[in-house]
Amino acid sequence: MEVNSIVAPSPNKLLMNDRRLTRRGFLSGAAAALTGLAAVPAWAARSVPADITLRIGPIKVDVAPGRTILTTGYNGAAPGTLIRLQEGVPVTVDLFNNTDTQEYVHWHGFPLSAALDGTQDENSLPVPPYGHLRYRMTPQVAGSRWVHSHVMTMDNLTAGVYSGQFSFVYVEPKENPGRYDQEIFLSTHEWEPFFIDMDNDEDLSAVEEFGETDWGPSTVEVGYRIGSINGKSLGHGEPIRVRERQRVLLHILNASATENIQIALPGHEFLVTALDGNPVPQPRKVPSLDLGAGERIDTIVEMNHPGVWILGSTNDDVRGAGLGILVEYAGCRGIERRARATVAPWDYAQFSFPGPQPSADVILPMVIARVPPGENGMERWTINGKSYRSSDPPMALHKGVRHRFAFHNTSSDAHPLHLHRSSFELTSIDGKATRGLLKDVVLIGAHQRMELDWTPEGEGPTLFHCHNQFHMDCGLQMLFDVT
Ligand SMILES: [Cu+2]
């Protein structure tokens, strides 16, 4: 169920194409005919503005006074400007890359062809250094989506999702249900990443210290110095201004490279209406929200407790590092600092219809495990005993077949598991059946079991990975090939 007007040529042809685009700024008709990239006539690429333009380039993010982050972003800011699309309405997209690095722009949560999905592993169209890429796509499913860089980062903590290359994307439904007085988009992100040695609690900011690939035998993780919501640390951006009795619709995105977060607004509850942009079968009120990296939650908050409150992380250290935003009622002053957030354990099942579980055609056991670092390096993550290598053959799946992925996380880390180009249905959590929860990222807890059902509709390569970039780089990914 996808529309795209690009016939995906081989990667080599793409590179030729893109060089041509880079050099001349447009593609000649003859070249287009030869290479198959004939989506947009050359004159159009030069003269007609696209519906959506993303300019990838160096930016400065003033997260707080005296704290300016130099990074790469979309359209001069991080997050980039909100992109609003209409369900079923095709758009022309222009991607301009004003950096010396080949980029991949991934439309997260969109059912698109592999060519447009935006990953190297799926042989998607790259945006060449100082190059340009134009294509047409049709947003098929309404809801909260996002767009972000999908380059491999490894030990480069300035690249990909560690950078400022992300924007919230909202696909407007054809019919707009829901009743609210204000609609607000919030993206969380952490800055100034560094490696930390968990065994010695040692800051390893100087990557040179432990060499190019020799990360030593101890457990290395990624830490951050500063957190933000919509590019501002707590107290340094504009507050969310509300009036008593307003219903405020919050679209929340965890745009972190590696961090799963829990947020709350003391004195208030969240009516959760959609997960990853897809309406939930049973909206429910909860005191706190958990979001794995890459997840989105749509929620309505009734403003019925006047004051100035902190909407932010429930973790004092994380909130203290800036991950929060003020909610200010009209006429109120002075932050309610004493107010403690109520926290409840997160359970996707509460938003689901109860079972029974639908039957699957194929059941595929998926065991996630951590291989501790050996003598020579970093930890590895495996699925069914294997760390991802792009040279390995992909796992064959079949169109129209209901595959059930029976995950068992044998590690003590949670993993935000992400499927590209499609949503899956979460069908059980620790043996308890769930129904009607469509997601593209699901946070599997430590030692948890989860079943995800997926009936592929489109063909081609489809990437599956942990949205914790560090885990992904350490092997926690798989490539499917749908035929
Ligand atoms: Cu992970």
pLDDT in the model for residue 218: 56
Q: How far is the CA of 258 from the centre of ligand 1 (A)?
A: 8
Nearest to 380 by CA among 453, 473, 297: 473
Before 79, cis peptide (omega within 30)? Answer: yes
- How much distance in Å is there from the Cα of 415 to the middle of ligand 1? 4
287 C-alpha to ligand 1 centroid (Å): 26
CB atoms under 10 Å from CB of 412, counted, come to 9
What are the phi and psi torsion angles at 87 (to 5°)?
-55, 125
Residue at which a domain ends, from 346, 362, 387: 346
Domain endpoint, select from 176, 199, 229: 176
Name the phi and psi angles at 18, rounded to 5.
-70, -35
Q: Are residues 199 and 322 located together in one domain of the fold?
A: yes
96 and 204 belong to one structural domain: no
> 473: CA distance to ligand 1 center in Å?
10
pLDDT tens, position by position, 193-210: 998 876 655 554 433 333
Mark whether 109 and 256 lie in a shared domain. no
Beta bridge partners of 425: 438, 453
Q: Residue 448 C-alpha to ligand 1 middle, in angstroms?
A: 13
Distance 233 CA to ligand 1 centre (A): 26
**pLDDT score at 174:** 82
Q: Do the Cβ atoms of 27 and 20 come closer than 8 Å?
A: yes
pLDDT at 196: 81
Residues 121 and 193 grouped into a single domain: no
Please give, one letter per residue, the 3-state secondary structure of 207-238: HHHHCCCCCCCCCEEEEEEEEEECCECCCCCC
Calculate how far, in angstroms, residue 465's C-alpha sits from the geometric centre of ligand 1: 8
Q: In DSSP terms, which residues pair with 329 in a beta bridge?
A: 242
Residue 9's φ and ψ, nearest 5 degrees, are -80, 180
> Is residue 1 in some structural domain?
no
Q: What does the pLDDT look like over 298-312, one tens digit per residue? A: 999 999 999 999 999
Residues 6+ apart with CB under 8 A from 278: 141, 143, 423, 437, 438, 439
* 179 to 83, 182, 462: CA distances (angstroms): 22, 9, 36
Structure tokens at 315: 């973790």
* Side chain identity at residue 333, one-letter code: R
Residues 268 and 248 in one domain: yes
Residue 148 lies in a domain: yes
Q: What pLDDT shows up at residue 153?
A: 79
CA of residue 476 to ligand 1 center, whole Å? 7
Residues 359 and 419 in one domain: yes
Cβ within 8 Å of residue 475, ≥6 positions away: 380, 381, 382, 386, 387, 388
The CA 261 to ligand 1 mean position distance, Å, reads 14
Residues facing 55 on adjacent strands: 96
Phi, then psi, of 61 in degrees rounded to 5: -115, 115
Distance 227 CA to ligand 1 centre (A): 20
Tokens of 425: 């249905």
- Say yes or no: 193 and 300 in one domain: yes
* 52 is a domain residue: yes
Question: Is the domain of 102 the same as that of 30?
Answer: yes
Taking the centre of ligand 1 as the mean of its atom positions, its distance from the CA of residue 468, in whole angstroms, is: 5
Alpha-carbon torsion (69, 72, 76, 81), positive or negative? negative
CA distance 272 to 291: 12
Is 437 domain-assigned?
A: yes
Whether residues 417 and 438 fall in one domain: yes
Are 193 and 226 within 8 A, CB to CB? Answer: no
The reported pLDDT for the residue numbered 43 is 46
CATH classification of the domain holding 124: 2.60.40.420
**Same-domain status, 424 and 457:** yes
**212 occurs within a structural domain:** yes
Cα(455) to centroid(ligand 1), Å:
24
If one counts the domains in the chain, the total is 3
Residue 428: which domain range?
353-482
Question: Residue 467 C-alpha to ligand 1 middle, in angstroms?
Answer: 6
Please give the pLDDT value at position 442: 98
| pLDDT for the residue 9 | 32
* Number of Cβ atoms within 10 Å of the Cβ of 141: 18
Residues 390 and 297 in one domain: no
Which among 176, 200, 226 is the end of a domain? 176
Predicted local confidence at residue 357, as pLDDT: 80
- Write out residues in the chain with pLDDT < 70, as ranges: 1-47, 176-178, 198-218, 374-377
CA 442 to ligand 1 center in whole angstroms: 11
d(CA 353, CA 360) in angstroms, rounded, equals 18
For residue 47, report the distance from its CA to the centre of ligand 1, in Å. Answer: 44
Pair 164, 43 in one domain? yes
Quote the ligand 1 centre to 472 CA distance (angstroms).
Answer: 7
Ligand 1 centroid to Cα of residue 414, in Å, is: 6
**Distance of CA 48 from the midpoint of ligand 1 (Å):** 42
Distance 218 CA to ligand 1 centre (A): 18
Taking the centre of ligand 1 as the mean of its atom positions, its distance from the CA of residue 474, in whole angstroms, is 9
